[in-house]
């Protein structure tokens, strides 16, 4: 069974590329923190470098209010994760240790 393709708002694409550029992370790490497929973020970053980010997704159907809200919540969650990770690093917590 194939999963439905996720649609992202233009604002989310722009914010994700900005997050990647401003935080000096690898593409893999930024995608992980944003809960995005690595290839998706890579495509957006390359499109941005070519000045074509605004054209990405241009022919997709408009997002519903619920989809826009989901995009906003995903962005907020990524921002909160980043703040928590930064605070953990500052306080000396080993962020690579995982409790399962």
Q: Would you call 8 helix, strand, or coil by DSSP? A: coil
pLDDT digits (tens, 9 = 90+) for 41-60: 999 999 989 888 877 766 66
**pLDDT for 28 beyond 90:** yes
> The dihedral of CA 43, 45, 51, 52: what is its sign?
positive
What is the structure's pLDDT at 100? Answer: 47
Helix orientation angle between 38-49 and 10-23, rounded to the nearest 10 degrees:
90
**pLDDT for 99 beyond 60:** no
Among 38, 23, 21, residue whose Cα is nearest residue 89: 23
Per-residue pLDDT, averaged over 73-93, amounts to: 85
Residue 65 contacts by C-beta under 8 Å, 6 or more apart in sequence?
Answer: none
% of the chain residues with pLDDT over 90: 21
């Amino acid at each position: 069974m194939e999963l439905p393709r996720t649609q992202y708002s233009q604002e989310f694409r722009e914010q994700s590329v900005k997050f990647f550029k401003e935080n000096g992370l690898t593409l893999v790490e930024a995608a992980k923190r944003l809960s995005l497929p690595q290839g998706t973020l890579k495509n957006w970053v390359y499109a941005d470098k070519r000045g074509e980010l605004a054209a990405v997704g241009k022919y997709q159907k408009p997002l519903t209010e619920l989809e826009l809200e989901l995009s906003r919540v995903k962005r907020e969650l990524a921002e909160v994760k980043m703040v928590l990770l930064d605070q953990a690093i500052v306080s000396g917590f080993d962020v690579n240790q995982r409790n399962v």
